[in-house]
Chains A and B, each alone.
Chain A
Amino acid sequence: MKKTSLTLQDLAAPLLSGLNRFGEMALFLLDAFRQSFFTHRLPGKVVRQIYTIGAQSMFVILLIGIFTGLVLGLQAFYAMSMFGAQGMLGSLLSLTLIREMAPVLTAVMVTARAGSAMTAEIGVMRISDQIDALAVMDISPVGYLVTPRLLASLAAFPLLTAIFNVIGIFGGYLSACVLLGLNEGRYFSGIESSVTMSDVSGSFLKAVVFAVIVITVCCYQGYNAHRRSDGKGPEAVGNATTSAVVVSCVLILMSDYVLTSFLL
């Protein structure tokens, strides 16, 4: 029989499958935390992941951080000059960076650099039976693959965010003070008088939440590459990587809005 109208079920199906996926991801995350009690030789694995997620992302974070600071300094300088309020530049720039730009851009950049690589690596392991081999050796694949990445990112994201903050403020100094001639005392005193500890801890809180989101989404997508309906084998790994980056970035910005509305 040919269907002529949308039923409630047709409308609800994508919603339900989305919810289902979300629940699965939450369980996946819980398992990753739980496995931190059972995984052997965990510290070594975590350190190796801090190196791949953290240390290897350092360069790109420095690059993005300095240019973000430069362009913010430039924009803010001209915007503030319209009202003769260049004295506010330091506070505006530092608060924008610390509260929003640094945690969000750090998370997005780490997703692009380390998150996508994670999905691809775990996805390839899935389609070449390596994950099954781990399970058969009674090595929890989640404990072996996801837990070290999760713990490492809980350390790496806040550190990278802190580096982004510092280098961004330096970039703002370069463009506003060195290039455009703003008084540097006014720049730094603006920062000092407006940034409070709660801004900095809010920045770290965001970094931690984003770390959990990025690792969960990227590892989950790779881990379930074989269950995709939009491709098989290598194509599934490619598609999983694309979804991992897109879903991570969307969730980063969505959760950023929610977090900001609570933090402000």
Chain B
Amino acid sequence: MNPAKDAAWDIRIERLEGGYGSRRIIKGMDATFPGGAITAILGESGGGKTTLLRILLGLTPPFSGRIFMGGRDIFSLTPSQFRRIRRRFGVLFQDGALLGALTLAENVALPLTEHTKLSRKVLRNAALRTLELVGLEQFADFYPSELSGGMRKRAGLARAIVTEPPLLFCDEPTSGLDPITSAQMDQLLLDMKKHYPSMTTVVITHDLGSVRHIADHVLVIGDGRAAFSGSKEELYASPDPYLRSFLDREAQEERRMTAPPLDESVRAALAEWLNQ
């Protein structure tokens, strides 16, 4: 497994349906994430982006449909075959999901610690060098609870890339970051692509600036389906009103505030409390 040399894995999603309990969140999705490219997944918050990711990662079983990774139907594999594929994933969870009991350096080195016999020193060096990429080398011995949300996210990205995975999944890597740090994160993803040309990257994001900057391919989720799946250029050229409202950051008409939400009784109660 060397993402610098091996053939890139693409991901193909066919008629996928999934959700939680009996609640359908993904309602029949078809999409392709090309190998060796960066695909951005866009969608409203609560639109099912994380849910789609959890299905891709095998954490939430789908209701129906198929997913092919590198040509293999992942739901037809035995658990141990699937685990062998999942080893090739690097994942940044939405909240970082760092282990609270370990320092940043231990967190970042964790996949190596638990799967190799490398010495402590080698592990620590690998962790420090990866932390340096995300600008956190001086926080190597801090615990996740001692950092800000954005720093935890960067450390989570460091842990995701420490194994040089052929498939990299990032759930909102730049949300909660300041513009300078998010630009650095975007640049890091682009640099990764340069060093590992066959790495397939899937980035969930709200950040249209990031999409413009890093994405080759875009999937827009609308109402649990693929509202758009294609190249970035096609997306920008699309006349579809839903996509336009997304790209031009226009609020949809039914969500506009036509009148203040509070009625008089609530307002009177509030006034009483404020004037107490």
The answer to whether A132 and B87 have CB atoms under 8 Å apart is no
A136 at the B interface (CB under 8 A): yes
CA distance A40 to B112 in the complex (A): 10
Q: Digit string of B56-92 for contact with A (CB within 8 Å is 1, else 0)?
A: 0101000000000000000000000001001101010
The answer to whether B93 and A41 have CB atoms under 8 Å apart is no
A138 at the B interface (CB under 8 A): yes
Segment at the B interface, from A1-9, A122-130, A193-201, A213-221: A122-130
A139 at the B interface (CB under 8 A): yes
The answer to whether B97 and A129 have CB atoms under 8 Å apart is yes
Q: Which residues of B contact A40 (CB under 8 A)?
A: 113-115
Q: Which residues of A contact B111 (CB under 8 A)?
A: 137-139
Residue of A nearest to B89 (CB): A136
A180 at the B interface (CB under 8 A): no
Residue of A nearest to B54 (CB): A132
Residue of B nearest to A131 (CB): B97
CA distance A134 to B115 in the complex (A): 12
Q: Which residues of B contact A41 (CB under 8 A)?
A: 113-114
Q: Which residues of B contact A263 (CB under 8 A)?
A: none
The answer to whether A133 and B93 have CB atoms under 8 Å apart is yes
A-B contact count (CB 8 A): 51
The answer to whether B86 and A133 have CB atoms under 8 Å apart is no
Q: Which B153-167 residues sit within 8 Å CB-CB of chain A? A: none
Residue of B nearest to A41 (CB): B113
The answer to whether A138 and B99 have CB atoms under 8 Å apart is no
A164 at the B interface (CB under 8 A): no
A232 → B minimal CB distance (Å): 12
Q: Which residues of B contact A139 (CB under 8 A)?
A: 110-111, 114-115
Q: Which residues of A contact B83 (CB under 8 A)?
A: 138
The answer to whether A135 and B114 have CB atoms under 8 Å apart is no
A129-B93, A138-B83 as given contacts; A124 in contact with B100, CB under 8 Å: yes
A144 at the B interface (CB under 8 A): yes
Q: Digit string of B203-245 for contact with A (CB within 8 Å is 1, else 0)?
A: 0000000000000000000000000000000000000000000
Q: Which residues of A contact B94 (CB under 8 A)?
A: 129
For A, the interface residue count at a CB cutoff of 8 angstroms equals: 17
Q: Which residues of B contact A129 (CB under 8 A)?
A: 93-95, 97
Q: Digit string of A103-141 for contact with B (CB within 8 Å is 1, else 0)?
A: 000000000000000000100110011101111111100
The answer to whether A137 and B114 have CB atoms under 8 Å apart is yes
The answer to whether A125 and B100 have CB atoms under 8 Å apart is yes
Q: Which residues of B contact A135 (CB under 8 A)?
A: 59
CA distance A64 to B110 in the complex (A): 39
The answer to whether A136 and B110 have CB atoms under 8 Å apart is no
B199 at the A interface (CB under 8 A): no
Residue of A nearest to B117 (CB): A40
The answer to whether B99 and A130 have CB atoms under 8 Å apart is yes
The answer to whether B86 and A136 have CB atoms under 8 Å apart is yes
CA distance A136 to B95 in the complex (A): 15
Q: Digit string of B35-59 for contact with A (CB within 8 Å is 1, else 0)?
A: 0000000000000000000100101
Residue of A nearest to B84 (CB): A138
The answer to whether A132 and B86 have CB atoms under 8 Å apart is no
The answer to whether A136 and B59 have CB atoms under 8 Å apart is yes
Q: Which residues of A contact B101 (CB under 8 A)?
A: 121
Residue of A nearest to B107 (CB): A133
B98 at the A interface (CB under 8 A): yes
Q: Which residues of A contact B59 (CB under 8 A)?
A: 132, 135-136
B12 → A minimal CB distance (Å): 20
Q: Which A32-49 residues sit within 8 Å CB-CB of chain B? A: 40-41
Q: Which residues of B contact A125 (CB under 8 A)?
A: 99-100
Q: Which residues of A contact B115 (CB under 8 A)?
A: 40, 138-139
A13 → B minimal CB distance (Å): 19
Q: Which residues of B contact A121 (CB under 8 A)?
A: 101
Q: Which residues of A contact B97 (CB under 8 A)?
A: 128-130, 132-133
Q: Which residues of B contact A134 (CB under 8 A)?
A: 99
Q: Which residues of B contact A133 (CB under 8 A)?
A: 91, 93, 97-99
Q: Of B54, B97, B110, which is in contact with the most chain A CB atoms at under 10 Å from its CB?
A: B97
Q: Which A17-69 residues sit within 8 Å CB-CB of chain B? A: 40-41
Q: Which residues of B contact A136 (CB under 8 A)?
A: 57, 59, 86, 89, 91
CA distance A144 to B95 in the complex (A): 21
CA distance A116 to B94 in the complex (A): 28
CA distance A125 to B113 in the complex (A): 19
B73 → A minimal CB distance (Å): 19
CA distance A136 to B115 in the complex (A): 13
CA distance A121 to B59 in the complex (A): 21
CA distance A19 to B87 in the complex (A): 35
Could you name 5 residue pairs across A and B whose Cβ atoms are closer than 8 Å? A41-B114, A128-B97, A129-B93, A136-B89, A139-B115
Nearest 8 A/B pairs, CB to CB: A133-B97, A129-B97, A139-B114, A137-B111, A138-B87, A136-B91, A40-B114, A129-B93
